[in-house]
Amino acid sequence: MVDDERELAEAIAVALRREGYAVDVAANGQGAIDRLLINEYDLVSLDLTLPDIDGREVCRLIRTDDRFDPRTRVLMVTARDTVSDRVSGLDDGADDYLVKPFALAELSARVRTLLRREARGSDTVLRNGDLVLDDARVRAQWADDPLELTNKEFALLRYFMMHRGEVLSQERLLEHVWDEMADPFTNTVRVTVGTLRRKLGVAAGRDGSDVIETVIGRGYRLREFT
């Protein structure tokens, strides 16, 4: 979240964290660039009017500089509301454009839509055999049995579902499901994977390790089911 209106940015960050997203906040363009050079981000919510570097320039850097992850989505969020502003922003490489003031529900919906582009398909519902996750309604179930998940377990399952079949390292999960305040030296990832695995195993009527596998020395993998 890149915005020099610190209180607004923090309020939005808190709301998105409640939905299970890992959110870091930068108050200016240089702060955003510094974070992007260190961390992999799935999405950048980028204000255009920043005190140092214009948001359009930040967006152009993300799109043209090889040091940045080309998969990062850019959502421009700004008070600049003319058609020419929107066209320029999209031409600079933004994936979407949201005008202030906006409803938090709309921002959340646009975040979900942009992040789904990395997943398989564009539906709000992710499926893996009998495992179903409805991102918009924040619901998950195995067959007809609802899963009672914490916000963090839901966020972790969502990331697994978007990358099912892939081996995800503990470091990658920590970066994408937790935020920069998370302590990398704790066992928080292992513990949360463990509780999610147990709940999935109970719902599926099988050993949880048959659902989320541990790949020794590499990380975890959500099995693909038909």
For strand 73-78 and strand 96-99, is the pairing parallel, antiparallel, or unpaired? parallel
Q: What angle do CA 108, 5, 49 make, to 5 degrees?
A: 90
Q: Are 107 and 77 in contact (CB under 8 A)?
A: yes
- How many residues are recorded in the chain? 226
Q: How confident is the model at residue 37, as a pLDDT? A: 92
C-alpha to C-alpha distance for 69 and 111, rounded to whole angstroms: 18
Residue ranges of domains in the chain, CATH in brackets: 6-116 (3.40.50.2300), 125-222 (1.10.10.10)
Span 55-84, pLDDT tens digits:
999 999 999 999 998 889 999 998 888 888
For range 1-28, the mean pLDDT:
91
Nearest to 78, CA basis, from 90, 69, 70: 90
Euclidean distance between CA atoms 29 and 14, whole angstroms: 21
Confidence of residue 146 (pLDDT cuts 50, 70, 90): very high
Whole-angstrom distance between the N-terminal and C-terminal Cα of the chain? Answer: 37
Amino acid 179: pLDDT: 72
pLDDT surpassing 90 at residue 130:
yes
Other Cβ atoms closer than 10 A to 216 = 6
pLDDT computed for residue 178 by the predictor: 82
Reading the block at residue 46, the tokens are 């980028």
Mean pLDDT calculated for residue range 114-143: 81
What confidence tier does 193 reach under pLDDT thresholds 50, 70, 90?
A: very high
The pLDDT, as a whole number, for residue 175 is: 84
CB 13 within 8 A of CB 23: yes
Residue 47 pLDDT level (bands cut at 50, 70, 90):
very high
For residue 137, pLDDT over 90 is answered with: no
pLDDT in tens, 169-182: 998 898 888 876 66
Mean pLDDT of 181-193: 81
Q: For residue 210, name the pLDDT band (cuts at 50, 70, 90).
A: confident
Is residue 122 scored above 80 in pLDDT?
no
CA 187 vs CA 171, 183, 191, 192, 193: distances in Å = 11, 9, 6, 9, 10
Alpha helices in 39-179 (DSSP H): 55-64, 83-91, 104-116, 151-162, 170-177
Query: What is the enclosing helix (H) or strand (E) of 44?
Result: strand 43-46
The 8-class DSSP code of residue 12 comes to: H
pLDDT at residue 119 tops 70: no
Q: Write down the mean pLDDT value for the chain.
A: 89
Q: Rounded distance, CA 198 to CA 214, Å?
A: 13
DSSP string, 114-153: HHHTTSSSS-SEEEETTEEEETTTTEEEETTEEP---HHH
